[in-house]
Amino acid sequence: MVKQEGIIVLKNVAKYYYMGENVIRAVDGVDITINKGEFVAVMGPSGSGKSTCMNLIGSLDVPTHGSIFLDKEDISLLSESELAELRGRKVGFIFQQFNLIPNLTVRENVMLPMTFQGVDKDEREHKAEEILVKVGLGDRMDFYPNQLSGGQQQRVAIARALANDPEVILADEPTGNLDTKT
């Protein structure tokens, strides 16, 4: 059997926050390899660094030290503009608080990541509609986030994360507002 190289690899990753003379070690010495196709759940008590770790993997934050590889590329060495480009192409985020844009419709929220990747408007609309139907929101495309329940907003966030066919989906408590059937 051939051993796969991980799509996500963390090597001695740490993230420290300095508060005066105090050091908050949000993440400290994490080593992990996640292979393509794997489903990994990180569990722990509130404040244990789960969201910080997710933000590091998704290149929303940079480590204090250590290396983070996404598809064999050391993202801890990239500039902010390179990180933004990488995020748009390779990572889909489902945030704990959804982070939907309130003055955009459901459809427009799902189309937004594709806009940043230069996808044609007709293709963006078609793909957004297709994904929204799959997550059970075909009848809510022209609604605004504040017109939806928490579970519906969460499904919009999931649809948005899928919009660019990312290689990696990072989800921070992605099912917290969904019923068991959904």
Please tell me the pTM assigned to this model: 0.82
Angstrom distance (rounded) from CA 13 to CA 75: 12
| E-state strands within the chain | 8-19, 22-34, 65-70, 73-74, 91-94, 168-171
The per-residue pLDDT of the chain, averaged, comes to: 89
The torsion angle over the Cα atoms of residues 150, 130, 103 and 152, rounded to 10 degrees, is -10
The reported pLDDT for the residue numbered 163 is: 94
The reported pLDDT for the residue numbered 1 is: 41
Angstrom distance (rounded) from CA 139 to CA 132: 9
* Residue corresponding to tokens 């990994």: 40
pLDDT, one tens digit per residue, over 116-165 is 899 999 999 999 999 999 999 999 999 999 999 988 999 999 999 999 99
Angle at 15 between CA 98 and CA 49, to 5 degrees: 50
